[in-house]
Structure 1
Amino acid sequence: MASNKIYWKNEAELNPNDSIVQKLKENEFPEEIPVDEFLGDKETLSDSTTNRRDFLKYVGFSTAAASLAACEGPVIKSIPYVVQPERIVPGVANYYATTIANGFDFASILIKTREGRPIKVENNKDAHIGGSANARVQASVLSLYD
């Protein structure tokens, strides 16, 4: 039970005696691809000092750069308070005075917070205790998130 169906793509192929169909079959690729335009002439290619290793470096770098450029940052959804605390106003910073004793670093500090999260550690100039907030004390804001 062999199938003798002839399939066609458009009306011109339905009539095989049509001259347009014959012309298209003979000249499917009428022009040669101009390879020399985008590669250059053969003399320039043979004189090139770029070896395969350098070429693969360039391709790898451009692929990595394109991949990083295509990456998007994560979507952070903001969730409102169900019952908002009285002391917290969104966008307005609160300051809390405290002390820190971290190894050999002792200081009276002022912590700046927004929406309950510490964002900056400063020296408390109003405190009567000596000691200032050095770089390690100011960097301790990162340990408050742990």
Structure 2
Amino acid sequence: MATTKKYWKSTAQLDDSNEMIKNLEKNEFASPIPTEEFLGNDEAMEESNTSRRDFLKYVGFSTAAASLAACEGPVIYSVPYVNQPEQIIPGMANYYATTIANGYDYASVLVKTREGRPIKIESNRDAAFRGDANARVHASVLSLYDSNRLKTPMIKGVESTWEELDEQ
């Protein structure tokens, strides 16, 4: 499909009488492109038996090799415990009994942890004060990661002991 479209770089090319544009068009490629420097002589190129298909194979292989060389996985270093706690065995879950009092949600729960990280909350059926864990209590596992949460029980904003809390 041949096309007869003509493209201009500026509106000055529309004027056929403009001498400056004519000179620039004549001198656009003042010297021929030196293809012999990188292709060699034309006779040797015509006699070679390398086809376009071979060229595309080499280009494809080099592109694939460069892509694979650039794709390296991240290095993740595993740092072991300096002094491993006795109760923590890698891969084995530990369970802790606790209570949750969050707004209108009260429950005695078991928290399943692995390597010290809470991963699941279940209802504690053996607790003296039962309160079944609802969906909000189960979802509160995310709040256990909060480093600003309370570390001790509090009564009316004052730190107390677990015994005082149980009495009240």
Query: Normalised by the size of structure 2, how large is the TM-score?
Result: 0.45
Higher relative contact order (CA 8 A, sep 6+): 1
Give 1:115's aligned residue: 115
Give 1:94's aligned residue: 94
Letter in 2 for 1:20: E
Q: Which consecutive residues of structure 1, in runs of 5 or more, have no partner in the other structure? A: 1-5, 14-18, 25-71
Match of 1:90, SS state, is: coil
Match of 2:139, SS state, is: helix
Match of 1:98, SS state, is: strand
Letter in 2 for 1:131: G
Deviation string, structure 1 residues 97-118 (Cα, Å, up to 9, x no partner): 0001000000000000000000
Deviation string, structure 1 residues 98-142 (Cα, Å, up to 9, x no partner): 001000000000000000000000000111212100000010000
Structure 1 residues 9 and 87, CA, compared in 2 at 3 Å: closer, same or farther?
same
Give 1:41's aligned residue: none
Map residues 1-146 of structure 1 onto 2, 5 A cutoff: 8-9=36-37, 13=41, 20=43, 76-146=76-146
8 A Cα contact 2:108 2:124, kept in partner:
yes
Larger radius of gyration: 2
Letter in 2 for 1:87: Q
Structure 1 residues 10 and 100, CA, compared in 2 at 3 Å: closer, same or farther?
closer
Q: Please report how far the alpha carbon of residue 145 of structure 1 lies from its aligned counterpart in structure 2 after TM superposition.
A: 1.0
**Alpha-carbon distance in 1 for matches of 2:91, 2:123:** 22
Give 1:43's aligned residue: none
Structure 1 residues 113 and 75, CA, compared in 2 at 3 Å: closer, same or farther?
farther
**Alpha-carbon distance in 2 for matches of 1:22, 1:108:** 85
8 A Cα contact 2:124 2:130, kept in partner:
no
Match of 1:108, SS state, is: strand
Q: Quote the RMSD (CA, aligned, Å).
A: 3.5
Q: How many residues align?
A: 90
**Alpha-carbon distance in 2 for matches of 1:100, 1:10:** 77
Match of 1:137, SS state, is: helix
8 A Cα contact 2:39 2:45, kept in partner:
no
Runs of 4+ in 1 over 3 A off after TM superposition: 6-12, 21-24, 72-77
Letter in 1 for 2:116: G
Structure 1 residues 9 and 139, CA, compared in 2 at 3 Å: closer, same or farther?
same
Identity of aligned residues (%): 64
**Alpha-carbon distance in 1 for matches of 2:45, 2:87:** 85
